[in-house]
Amino acid sequence: MSRVKINFDKSKISDDYCLIELHGTIQTDAPQLRNLQVGKFSIISNDKAELLIGAHKLEGKIVKLDKPLAMMMKVPADNNPLEGNSINENVSEFRTAKYDVLTIIKHKFIFKDRPIVN
């Protein structure tokens, strides 16, 4: 059996993340995607954004999500198992997983139109 602990500290929530929805595929020959710069993202106005990938410009808009999305990061768990359980007395050990909430995403940028070639 597993237990999951989620730490939510409002003072540590960051606004540095956003959700971007693309209708299509981005292909790369890079061997690793970590820290790969895909393109340049710009907010043009309160409800419009632009994504420039190579010579292709995508125009998008901001949309409120129906349900907010939590972005979490797994924290290395302690090696100490938790003992006892009021639901099932036969279970003496649990595997634990811990997560920190990085941010709550309430909006997303949608780029659904075909790109404009510069």
SS3 per-residue string spanning the chain? CEEEEEECCHHHCCCCCCEEEECCCCCCCCCCCCCCCCCEEEECCCCEEEEEECCEEEEEEEEEEEEEEEEEEEECCCCCCECCCCCCCCCCCEEEEEEEEEEEEEEEEEECCCCEEC
Task: Read off the pLDDT of residues 50-66 as tens digits, 9 standing for 90 and up.
Answer: 999 889 999 999 999 99
pLDDT at position 84: 45
pLDDT at position 77: 63
Task: Read off the pLDDT of residues 12-27 as tens digits, 9 standing for 90 and up.
Answer: 777 778 889 988 888 8
pLDDT at position 59: 94
For residue 111, what pLDDT band results from cuts at 50, 70 and 90? very high
Task: Read off the pLDDT of residues 62-102 as tens digits, 9 standing for 90 and up.
Answer: 999 999 999 998 887 665 454 444 455 445 466 778 888 88
**Cα radius of gyration (the chain):** 21
| Amino acid letter, residue 17 | Y
- Specify whether the CB–CB gap between 111 and 58 falls below 8 A: yes
Phi first, then psi, for residue 12 (nearest 5°) are: -100, 0
- Give dist(CA 114, CA 118) in Å, integer: 13
pLDDT at position 87: 52
pLDDT at position 97: 82
> Looking at the whole model, is its pTM more than 0.75?
no
pLDDT at position 85: 46
Phi first, then psi, for residue 55 (nearest 5°) are: -100, 10
